Amino acid sequence: MAENITNKDIVKEENLVFKKTSLFTEKPLSYCPGCGHGTAHRLVLETIEEMGIQSETIGIAPVGCSVLAYEFMDIDMQQAAHGRAPALATAIKRLYPEKFVFTYQGDGDLAAIGTAETIHACNRGENIVIIFVNNGIYGMTGGQMAPTTLPGMKSSTSPYGREVISMGNPLKMTELVAQLPGTYYVTRQAVHTPGAVRKAKKAIKQAFENQKLNKGVSFVEIVSNCNSGWKMEPVQANEWMVENMFPFYPLGDIKVPAEQ
């Protein structure tokens, strides 16, 4: 009998296992093929959909590749000046304490120009979620070196690889904010394999759930690829990320609430 089953028999509404969340707008994502931003967007939206908080969530879009996040997410959104998303999120959360407020930022936004805003918002313990997508490069502007670029990693402004003597050390933002008393939950995840995606989803959900507790910032870093900036094919970029990014940016929870 099994041999006679055709795709038409399987593709029916009652057999549906997974479909694109309805919180995505109809606009096609502007990201390069294989970019982790799309998956990160989806996990945030799926979390919001599952928690049933579409009308109670306000997101803050950054400057960078994901500047157009408000075009793709069917929720209320603001777009902040470069790096100022945590400051804007602070204002929104204080004005609407009952809303769920999150920022969605890249490494050029959060770890370079927005360092002060990020550290102070985390230190003040603002009750927000920060989603930090780290691909070690300025993707949108042409692959320039970012504070998170690895030692020896090639970018358009470090064509012979980042030299620590002249260009300094990379910045581990997530470990840095984990030291601050205002952060409640700090974790680092990735979205390159199905297992990693499921773990990242769990972490993002935990971060949004934490907002109900009023305990401080929940900070989720997602180590991602930038195949255009790294000059690689998407699958190759993911492999490179596993070999090079993960030893420097190890995945896992960095700060978990004490009672867990």
Partner 1 sequence: MAKVKGSIVVNIERCKGCGVCVPACPTEVIALHDEVNGKGYHYAYMANPEACTGCANCAMVCPDAVITVYRMKVNE
Nearer to partner 1, 197 or 203 (CB): 197
Kindly indicate which of the ranges 30-38, 89-97, 113-121, 178-186 contains the residues binding partner 1, using the contact rule CB under 8 A.
30-38
Q: In whole angstroms, what is the distance from residue 260 CA to residue 221 CA?
A: 20
SS3 202: helix
Which residues, 6 or more positions from 56, have their beta carbon under 8 angstroms from its beta carbon? 98, 99, 100
Residue 239 CB, nearest distance to partner 1 (Å)? Answer: 9
Q: Binding partner 1 by CB under 8 A: which of 134, 187, 238, 254?
A: 238
| Residue 20 near partner 1 by CB under 8 A | yes
Helix (H) / strand (E) element for 173: namely: helix 173-178
243 is an interface residue for partner 1 by CB under 8 A: no
- Exposure string for 202-228, b = 16+ CB within 10 A, e = fewer: ebbbbbbebbeeeebbbbbbbbbbbbb
Determine, following the binding rule CB under 8 A, whether residue 192 of this chain makes contact with partner 1. Answer: yes
- The answer to whether 29 contacts partner 1 (rule: CB under 8 A) is yes
Say if residues 61 and 133 touch (Cβ distance below 8 Å). Answer: no
Q: Does 11 bind partner 1 (CB under 8 A)?
A: yes
Q: Does 15 bind partner 1 (CB under 8 A)?
A: yes
Classify the C-alpha dihedral 232-235-198-98 as positive or negative: positive
Nearest to 74 by CA among 103, 94, 95, 44: 44
Terminal alpha carbon distance of the chain: 49
CB of 32 to partner 1, least distance (A): 8
Stretch in the footprint of partner 1 (CB under 8 A) among 27-35, 113-121, 133-141, 161-169: 27-35
Count residues binding partner 1 (CB under 8 A). 39
Binding mask 132-171 for partner 1 (x = CB under 8 A): ----------------------------------------
User: In terms of CB distance, is 184 or 230 closer to partner 1?
Assistant: 230
- Interaction of residue 198 with partner 1, rule CB under 8 A: yes
Phi-psi region of 14 (alpha: psi -120 to 50; beta: other; left: phi over 0): alpha
**Out of 141, 179, 193, 214, the residue judged to bind partner 1 by CB under 8 A:** 193
Please identify which residue in 125, 151, 234, 257 interacts with partner 1, judged by CB under 8 A: 234
Question: Side chain identity at 194, as an amino acid letter?
Answer: P
Nearest to 37 by CA among 29, 45, 49: 29
Binding residues for partner 1, rule: CB under 8 A, are 1-2, 5, 7, 9-12, 15-21, 24, 28-29, 31-39, 42, 191-194, 197-198, 227, 233-235, 238
